[in-house]
Amino acid sequence: MNNIAEQLSAAYHNIAENCRQLQRDPQSVQLIAVSKTKPVSAITAAYQAGQRQFGENYPQELLSKAEQLTALPELEWHFIGPLQSNKTRLVAEHASWVHSIDRLKIAERLSAQRPASQKPLQVLLQINISDEDSKAGISAAQLPELATAVAKLPQLQLRGLMAIPAPGDSERAFAAMQQLSKKLRQQHPGATELSMGMSDDWPLALQYGATMIRLGTAIFGARTYERNE
Ligand SMILES: *Cc1c(COP(=O)(O)O)cnc(C)c1O
């Protein structure tokens, strides 16, 4: 086995073990392999080891990788980064999921630009749960209104929430997200997903009901550069 296959296998093993202790079904948790800045060879290695869900942060990088990897038929892209209006088309055409919706205008563009031949884009609303000036996302107070508006868009399906807590704030933030998610599901029963937890805090996220964890470093190793971060 190559390194990536080993790290993936270890991650799935750890997830199953954590789920067992939490009395959660391991099938209720999806691992999104965050491949930003990593070469297509790394994605191919993970795909060959059985991974199908991949996360990318930058529209241009998503496009380039999607075009190079059309031969991997079951691969699904999750767009998890900040999204500007002038880049929505790339994401609407290539992603299956978008985790980072934080404005109605972006959602409307994605819906309008989603090709009719594809199934609706699965979207999560990003909450700025640690209330950081520097972070994307809406406040909890803005959630009901944005959720109602997004749920009406024909080529989008509202599937849940995403958050990136501030360092040191993970546990409070995850608990708050779990409550928000419960409330959201009363109005939008299909919004069952909760995307939270990264390489260094995912076990805690699982305790608070995460259904999608986004692991980069734990699968592909440290990134040698970051863009826009
Ligand atoms: C980079 C990134 C991740 C993965 O982070 P790791 O700490 O490497 O696991 C997850 N989510 C988002 C939104 C990211 O930008």
Task: Please tell me the pTM assigned to this model.
Answer: 0.96
For residue 163 and ligand 1, the question of a CB distance below 6 A is answered with no
Domains present along the chain, CATH in parentheses: 4-220 (3.20.20.10)
C-alpha distances in Å from residue 19, one per residue of 128, 176, 178, 203, 206: 27, 20, 17, 9, 8
Alpha-carbon distance of 36 to 15, in angstroms, equals 22
Sequence-ordered list of residues with C-beta below 8 angstroms from that of 80, at least 6 positions apart, any chain? 32, 34, 55, 56, 57, 99, 100, 162, 195, 214
Binned average pLDDT, 10 residues per bin, the chain of 229 residues: 92 98 97 97 98 98 98 97 97 98 98 97 98 92 98 98 96 98 98 98 98 98 71
The protein residue whose alpha carbon is closest to atom 10 in ligand 1 is 214
Task: Verify whether ligand 1 is closer than 6 Å to residue 14 (CB atom).
Answer: no
152 C-alpha to ligand 1 centroid (Å) = 29
